[in-house]
Every structure is written in structure tokens, then in C-alpha cells.
Amino acid sequence: MSIVVSNITKTYGEQKALNEVSFTINKGEIVGFLGPNGAGKSTMMKILTTYLKPSKGEASINGYDINKDTKKVQKSIGYLPEHNPLYLDMYVKEYLAFNADIYKVNKDRIDEIISLTGLTPEAHKKIDQLSKGYRQRVGLATAMLHNPEVLILDEPTTGLDPNQLVEIRELIKSAGKDKTVLLSTHIMQEVEAICDRVIVINKGQIVADKNLAQLNDDKQQIIFVEFDYRVEEVLLKELPNITHVHNIAGFSYELHFKSDRDMRSVVFDFAHDNGLKTLQLNHKHRSLETLFKELTS
Ligand code: ADP
Ligand code: MG
């Protein structure tokens, strides 16, 4: 187990930012830490990286206790903080060399990490001359300089334009091939694009912990159908894999199915077999955003 969190609580004065949070992350997993603003994501990440002490509870990284083995925890972790603080006056290479000194990393690693994070064409520039996307690359390069086993990335794609977004996601995905990654986001699609699993946090509490397959299961298939005549609801409820029948108006229904297969043909055959005509037959998926809203509202 790479990350074990058990019953972590953090209070800021009167406010409980984290309330008895527990989860575990296996070695090699890329996990999305999803939640709206103020949910407690950054607080959790600061605790895991030992920048903050929990008010209560325990956690370990690679078996090292965050309350006791802080140095070893820091060695095991690469951390990209929320606002990616960089020294803007420094040149990319100079900044990485500066960090290599702090982490006592061999200088050869600097060129390696520059190439690994796609920074080569910008490496001679000052950080304040870089686009937000390249600044994120510098942040990621810094986090990975000492080749940690675990990466903790706090909203690594927030504020990027669509092209940069895709590039940084690719970079995280490839960096994550041989690492354990916990990344926070408030975008459900991001989880779908890069993660194996999602842990959803809301108001300091975990409200869901699912792998991608389970998440797709939750995206039920919704079909809107209008018949030319009245139909008994009990008959509709006998359709295969149906979970919900809702009479919207007149002879129109919304049907929910839990199935990977396109159920429109089943509904069409049902109408035919019962001497009905289908006047409308539309297909819509419940979006991931709807799911996110349901979990966090
Ligand atoms: P997220 O990263 O999910 O947006 P945070 O962990 O930053 O959430 O914040 C969780 C809650 O704790 C928020 O309500 C926030 O206002 C509060 N909070 C965060 N940091 C502090 C702090 N240093 N002092 C007081 N309250 C804080
Ligand atoms: Mg945050």
C-alpha cells in the first residue's frame, strides 16, 4: 500500500476542514481526488506531504508515518502545490539546479527531467517568460526531480487552456506509469481522462470511492420514448436491465437502464410486439457532471 489514511481530522479554529477521512491507495494507482472548492482537498494534501499536522488521525506514505518519519515521507513524495509557487526571476535550468541542490540530486538528473517533462525547447528561458502550461511542466519537473515513488499534485491542470490541458494530462499519465499518483481536481472529466479511480470529497468527508468501471456503471443509460398509445407501466418495468420508469406526460416515458448495450432496439421491439408505434426514441447518457452534482450537493 502506497498511501494509507486513517481517520484524519483537521480543524482550523472552529471549522472542521477534514472530518474522519480514511482511504488507501495501492502502489501504481492514479487516483483522482475530486471535490468542489473548499471540500478539503488541499488540506489533505498538505497533511500527506507533512506541511500541515492533522488535528487527529494517522497516515503513512510507503509505510512511513507522516507524524514521525517526516524526512522519509518527504523523500518518498513529489508535491506540486496548488498555485505552483516558482521563482519567476530564475531561468528554468537554474531553478531546477537550485532544487537539485536542496534535494541533493545528481546534476545529471536535471537534463533528464527537462527532456522527460518536454521542457527542452523552453529550458533556456526565464520562468516568467513561460506560458502557464510550461510553468506547470517546471512544477512537475521539480516535483519529480528526486524520482519519488508517490506524486501528489494539487489541481495540476487548473487555469490551463484546452491544448495545454491535454498536454499536461498526457504528461501526468506517462509519469504515472511507474508511480503512485494522487491528483486533485474539481473536473469529473479529468478523472475519466487520467485516473484509475476517484475518491470524492465533500465538506471534509469522503462521499464516494470508486474505480473507473464502477463509475461507468453509475452512468446509467437513459432513453426517452414516446408511444402513440397508452402502455401499462408494469409491462415497461419488465424490460431487461431496466431500473426506472418515469411517465413524463401522455404517452411519453423516460426509461433508465443499467446496461452497456444500446437499449433503444429493445424498446423499439417492445413497442412493435405490443402493437404500438414509437413516435420518438432518443438516447441520452447521464453525464459525469450530473453524477458529481448528485454526490456533492
Ligand atoms: P479545497 O482544496 O478542496 O478547495 P481546502 O483544503 O483549501 O479545500 O479548504 C477546506 C476548508 O478549510 C475551506 O473551507 C477553507 O476555507 C478552510 N481553510 C483552508 N485553509 C485554511 C486556513 N489556513 N485557515 C482557516 N481555514 C482554512
Ligand atoms: Mg485546493
How many C-beta neighbours within 10 Å does residue 196 have? 17
What does the pLDDT read at residue 97? 94
- Helix or strand holding residue 14 (H, E): none
Q: What stretch(es) of the chain map to CATH 3.30.70?
A: 219-296
Kindly identify the ligand whose nearest atom is closest to the C-alpha of 156: 2
Q: What stretch(es) of the chain map to CATH 3.40.50.300?
A: 3-211
Measured in Å, residue 143 CA sits from the centre of ligand 1 at 23
CATH classification number, 219-296, choose in 2.40.50, 3.30.70, 3.80.10, 2.60.40: 3.30.70
How far apart, in whole angstroms, are the C-alpha atoms of residue 64 and residue 50?
A: 11
What does the pLDDT read at residue 285? 63
Task: Answer whether 49 contacts ligand 1 (Cβ < 6 A).
Answer: no
**DSSP letter assigned to residue 177:** G
Q: pTM of whole model > 0.85?
A: no
CATH of region 3-211: 3.40.50.300
Task: Answer whether 42 contacts ligand 1 (Cβ < 6 A).
Answer: yes
Task: Answer whether 38 contacts ligand 1 (Cβ < 6 A).
Answer: yes
pLDDT block averages, 10 residues each, the chain of length 297: 96 96 96 95 97 97 96 95 90 94 90 93 94 93 95 92 89 92 91 92 95 77 93 94 93 90 93 96 74 78
What does the pLDDT read at residue 260? 77
Q: Phi/psi at 277 (nearest 5 deg)?
A: -105, 145
